[in-house]
Structure 1
Amino acid sequence: MLISSDVSTLGRALHSDSPHLETKGIASFRSAVSTLNAHRARKDEITHDDFVAALTEEFGDAYPGHLEQHVVNEGDVALPKVWDGVKDLTSWEWQYGQTPEFTNRLDAELSIGRVTATLASRHALLTQFSLELARADEDAQDALNAISTALIGKRYEALGGAEADVPADVPPALAAEVLGWLRTSM
């Protein structure tokens, strides 16, 4: 439910501006969206808490005697399968790990020159990754190759733990520059 979201930001978040992104996912159908607050006759805005309270009240009216509010902890759940389901639905794998396979190419002008990243990702994990330097510099290209190898298997966009897997012989400033660029471009 969109209560007071910035729909222009939402639109940008749902649309990739990467011209080289190719996905095997199902194409989206665009549809106009709006927020609850955009249709308010009064000037005061609905908050998340207002929405939850109104929904709870309506549910209570529709199903009298069936509404109790409490926080559920693992020890409160008699069936382990139920708690396993809760953990599953809140896991990174469930939220992001079902991302369709895609490829992308990113270009940037870095301190060592023009660099192109070519990648493939499946279930939001990098399955293929290469960094190519446009000019001939064997040492710089070797460092980029080492970074590329370190990124295979990492989570797309966040690249969690990448710094620890970059070999020690890669100049730290170059690794930081490349990983910073990738995190803001992916």
Structure 2
Amino acid sequence: MGNSIYTIFMPREAFSRRANAELVTKALLQLDLPARVNERHDIVVDNHKVSGSAYKLISARAYHHGTMLIDADTHLLKGCLSKKYMDKAGMVSKGVASVPSPITNLRDYSYTVDHQQFCEAVLDEFVKEYNDGQAVQPVIINSVQQLPEQVEKTRQELSSWDWVYGQTPEFTYHLDQEFSWGHVRAFVRSKHGWITEVDMTTDAVGAHEVTVVSALAVAMKGCAYSLDAPERAIHKINQEIPGLFNNENMHIADQLIAWLKRKL
């Protein structure tokens, strides 16, 4: 895909966004690429971003995930990141927002640079910085061999719901939708991957519409924030208030579920 990915694991007290970016930048300088770290701690070449980063800090550890554009399809990348495909109007988050930046490939500045060269240069700088210059033997892992115990333990941790969603910053989401039977307005608050508050109202006057909207709002509170949250809420209602949903109002619930699944 023309894009290399690297991750640096380290003790939290030793973590420095700039220091890690500088380490990777030194590796690029080894390859005669005129890279530098800008004020946002992005790695840039000719003021164009070549590396994006994400960070996660927990009690004792820090994780720095980075990408490196070597020979990627930048037109396709820009299309994937277009606001057209990231319509989250109404969402307000306490997380760190991404800032759009002009990008470029390393290949635009070197005809020979490739993934292997990049990896070897980063490893060289890593052992200089953290292993007193003593060479280390890289461990090559492929899809058919069994992972080393510590790597497998880390893989399980990083793929767990707790890791992926459990520490998501608090955010709120305002939603509006017009249905044939009335207008629905929803307010959702989520923290650490859980829905902590839902307020959903409708201007419909029918008893079925008001009942379904109100019940769904109450039941979604406490659900994990995910595409299946509305369906989990329906399941909760069916267990706690059997018969609330029936042939006369289930079509309303189905429409609300489909709408919320598109938006969450």
TM-score (norm 2): 0.53
Give the letter aligned to residue 176 of structure 1: D
Partners of 1:142 and 1:181 in 2: CA distance: 17
Give how far 1:156 is off.
2.4
Aligned to 1:94: 163
Partners of 2:159 and 2:124 in 1: CA distance: 30
* Deviations 1:51-72, CA, capped at 9 Å, x for gaps: 3x44445467777661231357
1:6-45 equivalent positions in 2, closer than 5 A: 6-12=77-83, 17-18=88-89, 20-26=90-96, 28=97, 30-36=99-105, 39=108
Aligned to 1:106: 175
Greater per-residue strand proportion: 2
Aligned to 1:175: 253
Q: Does the C-alpha gap of structure 1 residues 84 and 115 become closer, same or farther in structure 2, counting only changes over 3 Å?
A: same
CA contact (8 A) 2:204 2:210 kept: no
The total of aligned residue pairs comes to: 173
Partners of 1:157 and 1:70 in 2: CA distance: 32
SS in 2 for 1:100: coil
SS in 2 for 1:6: helix
SS in 2 for 1:149: helix
Partners of 1:14 and 1:87 in 2: CA distance: 30
Partners of 2:104 and 2:165 in 1: CA distance: 25
CA contact (8 A) 1:60 1:66 kept: no
Q: 1:164 aligns with which of 235, 249, 255?
A: 235
CA contact (8 A) 2:165 2:192 kept: yes
Q: Does the C-alpha gap of structure 1 residues 33 and 66 become closer, same or farther in structure 2, counting only changes over 3 Å?
A: farther
Give how far 1:113 is off.
1.0
Give how far 1:11 is off.
4.6
SS in 2 for 1:97: coil
Q: Structure 1 stretches of 5 or more lacking a match?
A: none
Partners of 2:161 and 2:109 in 1: CA distance: 36
CA contact (8 A) 1:114 1:133 kept: yes
Aligned to 1:70: 141
CA contact (8 A) 1:7 1:33 kept: no
> Cα RMSD (Å) of the superposition?
3.5
* Deviations 1:69-118, CA, capped at 9 Å, x for gaps: 135746x42x6xx6544322222221222221122210001232101111
Give how far 1:127 is off.
0.8
Give how far 1:145 is off.
1.6
Give how far 1:130 is off.
2.6
